[in-house]
């Protein structure tokens, strides 16, 4: 399954971990005082480069220049403290941003082997490597990465691990194991587990299980109505789809409108109808 079709973004590199407050123990201890400054400069440049889509031809020159600056800072940090885990993860992030997936996978592995990489940090890097293997078309290798730990230290990480397992089984043609894993995902504690399971069930063609997951008590009413309405639209049950969308909008208008905008392609069967435009405020796409 292509990464573009999975509704999630795995960004478990140095700047993502730092932003989430999930640093390695000892990240603040540097061999020299300026190593941290050099790394932060590299991370800032990588964030800027990452904001420019690789396929954006107008931004290609700027992206290349920014990445070159990032690598310059990163190389200087590596000379100061080559074995520091945060610097090692930043190198992996840089390789990934540069489109070098094999090099990124290997670099995440070197960070994972560092003695300072334990617990949650180890699990996050294992997920990152598994996601990379999926992108590279190697679902069996992805599953092997996901077996590095029995259960995650947080419900959020455990949900991501289940989603990756579903995607890997699906890519391997193991439909029943994918459905079984989606069932397990629906049973997890944590915000969003049932909704994510519902989306997995939809993708796997298990529509009844998808609707049941969306109707779980843990899913906010407006989200459940919205998701089931979207499912009905895909199944050409348009009257029910409209009723559920209208009810969701009446309950929580702004959040539902944001979801409609983000999922516009999923509403394709009815997106051009006048009733849909009245409810959502979306205008039909301009003719090409």
pLDDT tier at 284, thresholds 50, 70, 90: low
pLDDT at 83 over 60: yes
Lowest-confidence pick of 192-196, 204-208, 246-250, 281-285: 281-285
Q: 22 to each of 25, 86, 243, how far by Cα in Å?
A: 9, 11, 43
Q: What is the mean pLDDT of the chain?
A: 86
Q: How wide is the angle at C-alpha 230 spanned by C-alphas 228 and 233, nearest 5°? A: 110
Under the banding of pLDDT at 50, 70 and 90, the label for residue 9 is: very low
Residue 151 vs residue 240, higher pLDDT: 240
Q: Which residue from 223, 189, 172, 183 is spatially nearest to 206, judged by alpha carbons?
A: 183
Instruction: Identify whether the C-beta of residue 166 lies closer than 8 Å to the C-beta of residue 185.
Output: yes
Bigger pLDDT: 265 or 196? 196
Q: What confidence category does residue 21 fall into, taking pLDDT thresholds of 50, 70 and 90?
A: very low
Report the alpha-carbon distance of residue 146 to residue 142 in Å, rounded. Answer: 6
Per-residue pLDDT at 27? 44
* 126 band by pLDDT with thresholds 50, 70 and 90: very high
Tens digits of per-residue pLDDT, 214-267?
999 889 999 999 999 999 999 999 999 999 999 999 999 999 999 998 988 888
**Is 243 exposed, middle or buried (CB count within 10 Å of its CB: 0-12, 13-18, 19+)?**
middle
pLDDT for residue 20 is more than 60:
no
Q: How many helices (H) and strands (E) are present in the chain, helices listed first?
A: 15, 0
240: Cβ–Cβ under 8 A, 6 or more apart, which residues?
229, 232
Query: Could you read off the pLDDT of 177-192 as tens digits, one per residue?
Result: 999 999 999 999 877 8
pLDDT at 29 over 80: no
* Share above pLDDT 70 across residues of the chain, in percent, rounded to a whole number: 86
- DSSP assignment of 186-252 equals HTS-STTHHHHHHHHHHHTT-HHHHHHHHTSTTS-HHHHHHHHHHHHHHTT-HHHHHHHHHHHHHHS
Q: What is the pLDDT of residue 208?
A: 96
Asked whether residue 7 carries a pLDDT value surpassing 60, the answer given is: no
Query: Would you call 68 helix, strand, or coil by DSSP?
Result: helix
Three-class SS state of 94: helix
Interval 80-90 mean pLDDT: 92
pTM beyond 0.75: the answer is yes
Burial zone of 29 (CB within 10 Å; 0-12 exposed, 13-18 middle, 19+ buried): exposed
For residues 34-41, give the mean pLDDT. Answer: 90
């Amino acid at each position: 399954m292509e990464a573009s079709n999975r509704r999630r973004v795995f960004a478990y590199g140095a700047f993502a971990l730092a932003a989430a407050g999930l640093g390695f123990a000892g990240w603040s201890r540097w061999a020299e005082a300026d190593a941290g400054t050099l790394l932060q400069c590299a991370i800032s440049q990588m964030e800027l480069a990452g904001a420019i889509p690789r396929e954006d031809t107008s931004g290609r020159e700027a992206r290349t220049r920014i990445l070159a600056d990032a690598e310059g800072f990163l190389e200087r940090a590596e000379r100061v403290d080559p074995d520091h885990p945060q610097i090692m993860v930043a190198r992996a992030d840089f390789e990934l941003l540069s489109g070098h997936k094999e090099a990124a996978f290997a670099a995440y592995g070197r960070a994972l082997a560092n003695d300072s990489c334990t617990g949650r940090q180890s699990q996050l890097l294992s997920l990152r490597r598994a996601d990379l293997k999926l992108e590279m078309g190697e679902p069996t290798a992805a599953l092997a990465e996901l077996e590095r730990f029995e259960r995650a230290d947080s419900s959020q990480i455990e949900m991501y691990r289940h989603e990756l397992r579903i995607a890997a089984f699906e890519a391997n043609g193991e439909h029943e194991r994918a459905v079984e894993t989606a069932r397990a995902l629906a049973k997890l504690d944590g915000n969003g587990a049932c909704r994510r399971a519902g989306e997995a069930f939809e993708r796997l063609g298990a529509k009844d299980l998808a609707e049941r997951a969306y109707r779980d008590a843990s899913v906010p009413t407006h989200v459940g109505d919205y998701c089931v309405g979207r499912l009905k639209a895909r199944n050409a049950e348009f009257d029910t789809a409209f009723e559920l969308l209208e009810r969701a909008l009446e309950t929580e208008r702004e959040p539902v409108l944001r979801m409609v905008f983000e999922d516009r392609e999923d509403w394709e069967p009815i997106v051009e109808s006048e009733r849909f435009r009245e409810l959502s405020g979306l205008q039909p796409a301009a003719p090409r």
